[in-house]
């Protein structure tokens, strides 16, 4: 079966060595009154990128104000500060300079400014976004794919609730991507980013809809490319060619291209968001610690797909007589790959300790909203399934 789809990717991509030179023109083309320049904890200032962005705005005659300090796993408190600031300064465009955390914070501020109620209503399911300030992005890390996605993932400081909201309204107008700007990424962030990129594709590849072979081929090529390129850039951080492959893969993995004819599962993402909310871990590393255990939990019911992944992506020889063994070898191959790039393959490797039973209960409770919702699509998981997977990942 091929799932019907409605593909929408409105973001202009300006990619390459001189990409930053276009920022002023791109912002001016939107026709803005005042820009909020939004960024993270300091990497963009240290690298000189923010200086280049300010020069671009100045030269284009565009007024702006600034709000930095977005943390990884971005917080609602910063979003509220941004909304207040934008209203006070009559900002009508947000320029996010950073990665998924800064972009998501920008999107949330964009939703909040025109909304008269409390912005958390959107994540709490009490309201649906009806408007969003336009967003532009200068990307510094290939990972979350937020630069082309419809998602916005925010953590409410009160209760550490990490949730996503999806709407086409927040898809950025443009993204400026210069792979050279990713040379300064620490190895751990590079590896976690690559893991996240692969997972965005895998969570659409492991699908009940198995007949869109074109999408499968695109996904398999993307996965092999990211797997190979991350190994190169961990050895040679300033390898332009492979940084470029990773950067473009990050956007393609999450702009829904690899979902055309298939279906999002995203169970591992849902399980991980609770880990990064509770323990503050890096999203991609949390995914690496969980996916092998999700895979083993659901594998028997979807053997063909796991065999295809093992053979076409991980290069495992097909043992036609024993498909379950081929599938398991594929899972082990990705665990070996995670170890090579410095990612964990269990929760104890991630947290440097085991979770307590009480912590697992907390994760399950939050992920299942007290047992009221299920997650996943290829295989639907209830609270008991979630607990079983967290427990498997906790043993390793
Ligand atoms: O804050 P600074 O100092 O800039 O440092 C950042 C941050 O510590 C650093 N960094 C970024 N670019 C750099 C750099 N350091 C040196 N040189 C550079 N060029 O990297 C760290 C991580 O940045 P962050 O933005 O948090 O990374 P990522 O892009 O992985 O975003 C993670 C967030 O996105 C969410 C995740 O859950 C997490 O909250 N996601 C958002 C999605 C979406 N909106 O579509 C989908 C994803 O599945 C994901 O859930
Ligand atoms: Zn992700």
User: Contact, 43 vs 14, CB < 8 A?
Assistant: no
Q: Choose which residue among 48, 49, 106, 141 to substitute to test ligand 1 binding: the one with the highest number of ligand atoms within 8 A of its C-beta.
A: 141
Q: Is 67 helix (H, G, I), strand (E, B) or coil?
A: strand
Q: Is 148 in the pocket of ligand 1 (CB under 6 A)?
A: no
Task: Return d(Cα 265, Cα 294) in angstroms, integer.
Answer: 12
Question: Which tokens hold the place of 15?
Answer: 């990619």
**pLDDT digits over 308-326, tens only?**
999 999 999 999 999 999 9
Task: Return d(Cα 271, Cα 99) in angstroms, integer.
Answer: 21
The C-alpha angle 17, 19, 23, rounded to 5 degrees, equals 155
**pLDDT digits over 187-197, tens only?**
999 999 999 99
- The mean pLDDT value for 72-83 works out to 97
- Which pLDDT value is given to residue 271? 98
CA distances from 38 to 22, 162, 166, 169, 250 (A): 18, 21, 21, 19, 21
Ligand 1 nearest atom to the CA of residue 102, by list position:
25
Q: Is 40 in the pocket of ligand 1 (CB under 6 A)?
A: yes
Q: Is 334 in the pocket of ligand 1 (CB under 6 A)?
A: no
User: Contact, 21 vs 138, CB < 8 A?
Assistant: no
User: Contact, 230 vs 191, CB < 8 A?
Assistant: yes
Task: Return d(Cα 189, Cα 205) in angstroms, integer.
Answer: 24
Task: Return d(Cα 37, Cα 322) in angstroms, integer.
Answer: 56
What is the dihedral sign for C-alpha 78, 121, 279, 345?
negative
Dihedral, 131, 137, 139, 140 alpha carbons, nearest 10: -100
The C-alpha angle 24, 143, 6, rounded to 5 degrees, equals 80
Task: Return d(Cα 153, Cα 145) in angstroms, integer.
Answer: 12
- Which pLDDT value is given to residue 215? 98
- Which pLDDT value is given to residue 240? 98
pTM of the predicted model as reported, rounded to 2 decimal places: 0.98
**pLDDT digits over 358-371, tens only?**
999 999 999 999 99
- Which pLDDT value is given to residue 355? 98
Ligand 1 nearest atom to the CA of residue 43, by list position:
3
Whether the per-residue pLDDT at 212 is higher than 90: the answer is: yes
- Which pLDDT value is given to residue 204? 98
- Which pLDDT value is given to residue 159? 87
CB contact set of 321 (below 8 Å; sequence gap of 6+): none
Domains in the chain with CATH codes: 12-181 (3.40.50.1970), 185-395 (1.20.1090.10)
């Amino acid at each position: 079966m091929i799932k019907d789809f409605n593909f929408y990717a409105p973001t202009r991509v300006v990619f390459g060595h001189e990409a930053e030179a276009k920022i002023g023109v791109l912002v001016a083309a939107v026709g803005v009154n005042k820009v909020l320049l939004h960024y993270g904890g300091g990497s963009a200032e240290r690298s000189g990128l923010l200086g280049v962005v300010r020069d671009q705005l100045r030269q284009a005659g565009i007024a702006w104000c600034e709000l930095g300090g977005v943390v990884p796993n971005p917080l609602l408190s910063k979003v509220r500060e941004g909304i207040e600031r934008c209203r006070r300064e009559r900002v009508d465009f947000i320029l996010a300079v950073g990665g998924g955390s800064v972009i998501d914070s920008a999107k949330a501020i964009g939703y909040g400014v025109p909304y008269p109620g409390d912005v958390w209503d959107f994540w709490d399911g009490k309201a649906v976004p009806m408007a969003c300030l336009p967003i532009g992005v200068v990307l510094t890390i290939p990972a979350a794919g937020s630069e082309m996605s419809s998602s916005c993932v925010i953590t409410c400081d009160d209760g550490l609730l990490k949730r996503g909201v999806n709407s086409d309204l927040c898809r950025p107008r443009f993204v400026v991507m210069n792979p050279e700007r990713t040379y300064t990424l620490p190895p751990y962030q590079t590896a976690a980013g690559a893991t996240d990129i692969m997972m965005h594709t895998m969570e659409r590849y492991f699908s009940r809809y198995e007949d869109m072979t074109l999408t499968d081929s695109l996904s398999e090529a993307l996965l092999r490319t990211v797997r190979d390129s991350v190994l190169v850039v961990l050895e040679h951080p300033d390898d332009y060619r492979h940084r470029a492959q990773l950067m473009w893969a990050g956007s393609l993995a999450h702009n829904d291209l690899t979902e055309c004819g298939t279906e999002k599962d995203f169970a591992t993402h849902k399980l991980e968001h609770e880990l990064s909310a509770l323990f503050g871990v890096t999203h991609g590393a949390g995914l690496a610690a969980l996916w092998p255990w999700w895979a083993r939990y659901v594998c028997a019911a979807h053997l063909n797909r796991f065999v295809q992944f093992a053979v076409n992506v991980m290069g495992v020889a097909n043992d036609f007589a024993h498909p379950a063994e081929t599938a398991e070898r594929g899972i082990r191959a990705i665990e070996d790959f995670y170890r090579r790039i410095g990612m964990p393959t269990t929760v104890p490797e991630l947290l440097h300790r085991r979770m307590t039973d009480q912590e697992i209960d907390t994760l399950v409770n939050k992920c299942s909203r007290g047992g009221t919702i299920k997650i996943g699509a290829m295989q639907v998981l209830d609270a008991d399934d979630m607990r079983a997977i967290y427990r498997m990942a906790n043993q390793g």
